[in-house]
Amino acid sequence: MRNLLITTALLIGSVLPVFADTIEIQMLNENAAGDRMVFSQELILAEVGDVIQFIATDRSHNAQSVRDALPEGQEAFKGRMSQDVQYLVTETGLTAVVCQPHQTMGMVALIVVGNDLSNAQDILDSRIRGAGKDKIEALIEEARATQS
């Protein structure tokens, strides 16, 4: 009986993340470094089961995914302006996040789940505009540098 309980616990543990986190990201007009129109964290390391909460600390921002710039099977999301939005991570891989009105000013973030960068080319090929595209490229390079 004891062995059965242990086996069951191990099986459940392999499916349901035991230490799922809520990761809070603020949408800001300016961060401590003086950068304007930014997410408080731009390279977001997460695991399946985590919830990433984008918080409307300052108004006139949103957070949303970009078509074809998220893992296969992962549900897209689109927050309303000046509203918090949650993103439940269900798949490993990369997700690009933009603030629609400020992506051209570089208000973007990259979520890396499970240290899986296999869809990096999809992210690079997706339609992210202006300074946001340059920053996403830099964030992918930064994520690659954290591997190995």
Contacts to Cu ion by CB under 5 A: 61, 99, 102, 107
CA 146, 99, 46, 77 torsion: positive or negative? Answer: negative
- Complex with Cu ion: residue 107 or 109, whichever CB lies closer: 107
Q: Considering the complex, what minimum distance in angstroms separates the CB of residue 51 from Cu ion?
A: 21
125 secondary structure, DSSP code: H
- Complex with Cu ion: residue 38 or 113, whichever CB lies closer: 38
List residues bridging with 88 in a β-sheet.
51
Q: Considering the complex, what minimum distance in angstroms separates the CB of residue 120 from Cu ion?
A: 24
Please name the residues in contact with 27: beta carbons below 8 A apart, sequence gap of 6 or more. 39, 40, 54, 55, 56, 57, 58, 61, 62, 63, 99, 107
- Complex with Cu ion: residue 61 or 135, whichever CB lies closer: 61
Q: Considering the complex, what minimum distance in angstroms separates the CB of residue 58 from Cu ion?
A: 8
